[in-house]
């Protein structure tokens, strides 16, 4: 059985204000939002890439509490017009020279 989505009668689109008798309802974080089309829903709810600013319609890539559109933007996130020196924290495991006991 297909779960029934909440039926909304004559709701107003949050983005463009169009009153539409078959609005879609998107629930985000427990709050419901009504839209007349996907375009308006995307414009209101879709996150933007923290680097290039494009709209993220898929899963995106979450890194350091920020959301990016793709792996490329994650890797190049520091080179986006902040002109400062990038102090990346690199944790490298130093190779240990453990002497092998021969016996």
Q: Which stretch binds Zn ion (CB under 5 A): 24-32, 42-50, 74-82, 93-101?
A: 42-50
Residues 6 or more apart in contact with residue 47 via CB below 8 angstroms: 55, 56, 60, 67
Output the six-digit token pair for 97: 């020279």
Among 11, 13, 23, 74, contact with Zn ion (rule: CB under 5 A) = 13
Phi and psi, residue 30, nearest 5°: 85, -10
- Could you give the CA distance from residue 60 to residue 51 in angstroms, rounded to a whole number? 12
- Selected from 25, 46, 48, 52, the binder of Zn ion by CB under 5 A is 52
Residues 63-92 that bind Zn ion (CB under 5 A): 69, 73
Query: Nearest distance from residue 62's CB to Zn ion, in Å?
Result: 13
Residue 11 makes contact with Zn ion by CB under 5 A: no
């Amino acid at each position: 059985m297909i779960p029934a989505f909440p039926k909304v009668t004559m709701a107003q689109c949050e983005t463009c204000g169009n009153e539409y008798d078959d609005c879609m309802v998107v629930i985000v974080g427990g709050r419901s939002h009504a839209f007349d089309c996907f375009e308006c829903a995307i414009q209101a709810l879709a996150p933007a890439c923290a680097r290039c600013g494009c709209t993220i319609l898929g899963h995106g890539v979450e890194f350091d509490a920020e959301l990016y559109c793709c792996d490329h933007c994650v890797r190049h996130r520091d080179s986006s017009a902040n002109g400062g020196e990038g102090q990346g924290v690199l944790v490298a495991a130093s190779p240990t020279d453990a002497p092998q006991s021969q016996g």
